[in-house]
């Protein structure tokens, strides 16, 4: 296990900075970056932690049942 403090003003770019993705059908880091930055704008997303196979996030504005989020066909 390791702990990394990233020099960034945003949290949504953590996947790219840490090279998260591109394994076992998981989207590549650039795709994570695109979706997470969009969700940051829409829902106030903050990445809370990145592990070897999981992103933990929190949102300030829940999308609700009527709004649609972008979804990937596979789960990491």
Residue 73: predicted pLDDT: 46
Q: At 2, is the pLDDT very low, low, confident or very high (cuts 50, 70, 90)? A: confident
DSSP run (H or E) holding 12: none
Q: Which residue blocks in the chain are alpha helix, DSSP H?
A: 14-18, 29-43
14-64 residue pLDDT tens: 888 888 888 888 889 899 888 898 888 888 899 988 888 888 999 888 777
> What is the residue whose two structure tokens read 């070897």?
52
Sign of the C-alpha dihedral computed for residues 7, 13, 14 and 17 taken in this order: negative
Q: At 75, is the pLDDT very low, low, confident or very high (cuts 50, 70, 90)? A: very low
Domain boundaries, the chain: 14-58
Query: Of 75 and 36, which is predicted with more confidence?
Result: 36
Average pLDDT estimate for 2-19: 82
């Amino acid at each position: 296990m390791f702990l990394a403090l990233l020099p960034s003003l945003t949290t949504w770019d953590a996947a790219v900075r840490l090279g998260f993705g591109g394994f076992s059908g998981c989207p590549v880091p650039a795709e994570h970056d695109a979706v997470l930055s969009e969700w940051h704008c829409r829902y106030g997303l903050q990445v809370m932690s990145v592990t070897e196979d999981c992103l933990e996030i929190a949102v300030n504005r829940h999308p609700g049942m009527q709004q649609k989020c972008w979804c990937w066909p596979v789960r990491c």
